[in-house]
């Protein structure tokens, strides 16, 4: 097995084709797209090239996810981005508000 060079975080984003900013969900979705295209078991590419490309994609994804999962996020009032408010009550009501079991309009 050949020795693989460790990628930097910007290199991993480039390998995965991720723009300057992405959410964890966006990173995961992009990895799944690439995995469907390059996984050696399903790829329409040359098997050896697909194998090497998939290894590089998987390595990039693992590095990027490790970076994201270990990145310290500040929740200080002055450091939270505007426009990213999340109200769990609003989410719950939008998903389950009219549900007879989980919503607020339970039969009496």
Per-residue pLDDT in tens (0 to 9) along the chain, 108 residues: 444 568 899 999 999 999 888 888 999 999 999 999 999 998 888 999 999 999 999 999 999 999 999 988 877 877 776 655 666 677 667 777 777 676 665 555
Written out in words, the top-level CATH class of the domain with range 1-75 is mainly alpha
Task: Look at the chain and count its residues.
Answer: 108
Domain extents in the chain: 1-75
Do 48 and 2 meet the contact criterion of CB atoms below 8 Å apart? Answer: no
Packed helices 9-16 and 24-38: angle between N→C axes, nearest 10 degrees: 60
Cα–Cα distance list, 21 to 44, 68, 74, 91, 108 (Å)? 30, 12, 17, 24, 48
Output the pTM of the full model.
0.65
CA–CA distance, 73 with 71 (Å, rounded to integer):
6
> Is-contact 31 16, C-beta < 8 A?
yes
């Amino acid at each position: 097995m050949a020795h693989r060079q460790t990628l930097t975080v910007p290199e991993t984003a480039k390998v995965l084709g991720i723009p300057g900013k992405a959410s964890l969900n966006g990173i995961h979705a992009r990895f799944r797209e690439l995995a469907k295209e390059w996984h050696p078991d399903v790829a329409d590419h040359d098997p050896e090239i697909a194998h090497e490309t998939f290894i590089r994609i998987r390595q990039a994804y693992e590095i990027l996810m490790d970076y994201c999962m270990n990145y310290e996020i500040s929740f200080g009032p002055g450091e939270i981005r505007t426009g990213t408010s999340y109200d769990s009550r609003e989410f719950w009501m939008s998903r389950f508000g009219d549900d007879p079991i989980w919503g607020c309009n339970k039969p009496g």
